[in-house]
A and B are shown apart, each in its own frame.
Chain A
Amino acid sequence: MTTMTLAGALNDGLRRSLARDEKVVLLGEDIGKLGGVFRITDKLQEEYGPRRVIDTPLAEAGIIGTAVGLAIRGYRPVCEIQFDGFIYPGFDQIVAQVAKLHYRTQGTVKMPITIRVPFGGGIGAVEHHSESPEAYFAHTAGLRVVSCSNPQDAHSMIQQAIASDDPVLFFEPKRRYWQKGEVDTELDANAIPLGQARVLKSGSDVTLVAYGPLVRTALDVAAAAADDGVAVEVVDLRSLSPVDFATVEASVRKTGRLVITHEAAQSGGMGAEIAAAITERCFDWLEAAPARVTGFDTPYPPASLEEAFLPDLDRILDAVDRVLGRRNSLTGWKATA
């Protein structure tokens, strides 16, 4: 076991992928000498050369479209999109080409492209640097969408994503880049399948589903709720396409209550899909309507307002109270349960 930051774990995972398969090439803006604006590719160009770790011109469609051609030629490109809000110029190439080429060619052309996206807020950034665009991609057939929440998963999942013969949108929780954790670098990267969720803390009262940056918050919620005598089960979704509904379903059949949280806006988001699917599957087990705690249906606000926008410990605890039928902000504090 080695203590690593999430950023360091990604860096080591990328290094191992470069070493394992000479067809792996990294493409992105400022990923060479600079090592990326978040240093995720630190020293990789020095070690593997400018042919494997490629600084590209500043054009996201160019990065993704070039990766498509490289993939057709037999390469395994890993693209870095510098910030979440910069992915939209590459959106057409992702949803119209990367996602569909395997289908279009009846399986003859594979698209083993990994698209790394630092996402989410909480770092006091300017506009376009704190967004959570994952639902667009989870909605698109042909894309796998995942998000890691801790250094060990970051280390394993980036290697799994690169090894996958399908395109993977890899969402990295940028505000957790510097979070440290124990990493077994020799662990088989496939110890847990890429599409599988994990129960990080078990509990019998409420199921709390989170992914990426809010998993840490969800664990804090579980600890705070425990002080209040409520056992919250925390599910780290890890994969957004596919969603491991079997794991969520098993948890909800046990707890009868579901809270979902994400930073992305509420309407049409992952929470809506999970609430609908779990209601379909577990209607007779649910003791209360599923609750969502999400970013608002607003643009991501200026930094001084992001605390208001981002789901936090108290807002999630409030939803836990709601599904438990306790007094909460919607019932008013003077009402009886």
Chain B
Amino acid sequence: MSTTHEGTRTHEAHEDITALLKLEDVVQLISPTGERQSSPGFDSWVDDVTTEQLADLYEDMVVVRRIDTEATALQRQGELGLWPPLLGQEAAQIGSARALRSDDFVFSSYRENGVAYCRGVNFTDLMRVWRGTAASGWNPYEVGMATPAVIIGAQTLHATGYALGCQFDGSDSVAIAYFGDGATSQGDVNEAMVFAASFQAPVVFFCQNNQWAISEPVGLQSKRHLSDRAPGFGIPSMRVDGNDVLAVMAATRIALDRARTGGGPTFIEAVTYRMGPHTTSDDPTRYRSASELDEWRAKDPITRLAALLESRGVFPDELGSRVNSKADAVARDMRAGCLSIAKPNPLSVFENVFAEPHSGLERQKSQYAAYLASFDSDPDASTQGDRS
């Protein structure tokens, strides 16, 4: 009897708590139709953003969308093995990445091509992994961005450790971890929040909730807003409209400022939508409806910024043509760069496994080199190309 009674009371209490913790709506500074909204507490963080700078953000977003389109085309033409589109997530990536300093350090997943663009990653380098010619495309120290993590959520711990190093160094540089809604279920992400909170590491947890982890809706990962979780770790969190570049920038600036001034970690849930497939190998029509897509298309991050700029008197045709020609140029360079990537030498498979010599691997390498060289001296082998 008493067990049942207590059970019922617990259930009621749980509902009460849920009601108490119900979050406000997401922070939004630009409405889907392009009106500038006021949000106390956030406005002052982007007061300094001029119309000209907004136009630059618009350009960034159009360019990365164009990179996405071009890369998808390259994949369809057989020039890339795979591509993970960011379509729909441009504001979340550009708004946050443009808030960073060059001495901050990004730890991302594989979809943050817009962030990589902002960090100055070369377009050709962006293609290498997806063309299958290298395990990564760039030197992390040159752009302040680690090579993308494919294991879901692993990079959040790296960001936390890096941030700890910044703290030890007495630096005010910040580490920012990008991850998705699916990643929040991973142990690594939860451990990262435990460590970051415990050591008050200067790290920003930037979660792009794009609603889908391949075919799994965010509701499968969490029965609460993802932003609800962080406070349980002792980490303040914000929930912002991830398709609103200004709201994303404001939230990221707040989080960065907290981290730089000893305030520790912050969690940002950027509510957005993956308009495309998970990757070029995915077929989202199997698990989601066209109406859902239409609903989110109406919240497009680029369209709303264009509308805001137009309301500010920025002549849309002029801006549009400037931005489009930039995007065309980038796409052209990217395609040319992609096609120019050479197939690596077979013996390079042994390179950089270790920083210092390893006798076992050296033996395998020399034996394989001898095997390859045997085609040069074997009179029965017509050409080396037959077996390379």
Contact, CB under 8 Å: A62 / B154: no
Q: How far is it, in angstroms, between the C-alpha of A89 and the C-alpha of B354 when the chains are bound?
A: 24
Set of chain A residues within 8 Å of B360, measured between Cβ atoms: 241-243, 245
Q: Please, which residue of chain B has its CB at the minimum distance from the CB of A143?
A: B354
Q: Which of the residues A64, A75, A92, A106 comes within 8 Å of B168, measured between beta carbons?
A: A75
B355 touches A70 (CB 8 A): no
Contact with B along A103-120 (1 / 0, CB 8 A): 111111111100000000
The residue that B354 contacts in the complex, of A92, A97, A166, with Cβ under 8 A, is A166
In angstroms, how far is the closest chain B Cβ from the Cβ of A25?
8
Least distance between A239 CB and chain B CB atoms (Å): 9
Residue of B nearest to A57 (CB): B194
B175 within 8 A of A: yes
Q: Which of A69, A164, A245 has the largest number of chain B CB atoms within 10 A? A: A69
With A61-B191, A109-B140 as given contacts, are A92 and B151 in contact (CB-CB < 8 Å)?
yes
With A69-B157, A72-B146, A195-B359 as given contacts, are A106 and B164 in contact (CB-CB < 8 Å)? no
- Chain B interface residue count, CB cutoff 8 Å, equals 44
Nearest Cβ on chain B to A270's Cβ, whole angstroms: 13
Q: Do A103 and B353 form a contact, CB below 8 Å, given A69-B157, A69-B159?
A: yes
How far does the alpha carbon of A273 sit from the alpha carbon of B331 in the complex, in Å? Answer: 50
Set of chain A residues within 8 Å of B154, measured between Cβ atoms = 65, 92-93, 96-97
- Chain B nearest CB from A246 CB (Å) reads 8
Known: A65-B160, A166-B356. A108 touches B188 (CB 8 A): no
Interface residues of A, count at CB 8 A: 50
- CB-contacts of B341-388 with A (<8 A): 351-356, 358-361
B48 CB–A CB distance under 8 Å: no
Chain A minimum-CB-distance residue to B154: A97
Contact partner, B135, options A59, A65, A104, Cβ 8 Å: A104
Asked if A69 and B358 make an inter-chain contact with CB atoms under 8 angstroms apart, the answer reads no
Confirm or deny: B192 has a beta carbon within 8 angstroms of a beta carbon on chain A.
yes
Q: Is the interface of B mostly helix, strand, loop or mixed?
A: helix
Q: Which of A260-289 contact B (CB under 8 A)?
A: none
- B102 close to chain A: CB less than 8 A: no
B171-186 interface (Cβ within 8 A of A): 175
Say if the beta carbon of A141 comes within 8 Å of chain B.
Answer: yes
Q: Is B136 within 8 A of A144, CB to CB?
A: no
Q: Please pick, from A57, A142, A195, the residue contacting B195 in the complex, using a CB distance under 8 A.
A: A57
Query: With an 8 A cutoff between CB atoms, is B161 at the interface?
Result: yes
Is B355 a contact partner of A108 (Cβ separation < 8 A)? Answer: no
B residues in contact with A195, CB < 8 Å: 358-359
- Residue A244, interface by CB 8 Å: yes
- Measured CB to CB, the nearest residue on chain A to B139 is A108
> Judging by beta carbons under 8 Å apart, are B140 and A108 in contact?
yes
Which residues does chain B contribute within 8 Å of A103, judged by CB atoms?
135, 352-353
Q: CB < 8 Å: which of A70, A74, A106, A112 contacts B136? A: A106
Tell me which of B105, B360, B361 has the highest count of chain A C-beta atoms within 10 A of its own C-beta.
Answer: B360
Chain A residues, CB < 8 A from B134: 106
Question: Is there an interface contact between B164 and A69, defined as CB atoms closer than 8 Å?
Answer: yes
- The 8 A CB mask of B102-115 against A (1 = contact, 0 = none) is 00010100000000
Q: Which residue of A lies closest to B354 (CB)?
A: A166
- In the assembled complex, the Cα of A172 lies from the Cα of B288 at a distance in Å of 53
Task: Kindly provide the distance from the CB of A268 to the nearest chain B CB, expressed in whole angstroms.
Answer: 17
Please pick, from B105, B156, B158, B358, the residue contacting A242 in the complex, using a CB distance under 8 A: B358
Report which of B169, B192, B359 forms a contact with A65, defined as CB distance below 8 A. Answer: B192
Given contacts A51-B168, A57-B195, A62-B194, contact A107 B158 (CB under 8 A): no
By a CB distance below 8 angstroms, the chain A residues around B135 are 100, 103-106
B161 and A66 form a contact (CB under 8 A):
yes
Whether the Cβ atoms of B162 and A244 lie closer than 8 Å is no
Is there an interface contact between B157 and A93, defined as CB atoms closer than 8 Å?
Answer: yes
Q: CA–CA, A325 to B25, complex, Å?
A: 81
Rounded to whole angstroms, the CA-CA distance of A245 and B362 in the bound complex is 13
Chain A neighbourhood of B149, CB < 8 A: 97
Apart from A57-B191, A243-B360, 12 more pairs, CB < 8 Å:
A61-B187, A61-B188, A62-B188, A62-B192, A65-B161, A65-B191, A69-B160, A69-B163, A70-B164, A103-B353, A165-B355, A166-B355
A sample of 9 inter-chain contacts (CB < 8 A) reads A68-B161, A72-B162, A73-B105, A96-B151, A103-B353, A104-B136, A142-B353, A166-B358, A195-B359
* Residue ranges of A at the interface with B (Cβ–Cβ < 8 Å): 25, 51, 56-57, 59, 61-62, 64-75, 77, 89, 92-93, 96-97, 100, 102-112, 141-142, 144, 164-166, 195, 241-246
Identify the 4 closest CB pairs spanning chains A and B, nearest first: A69-B161, A65-B157, A73-B165, A62-B191
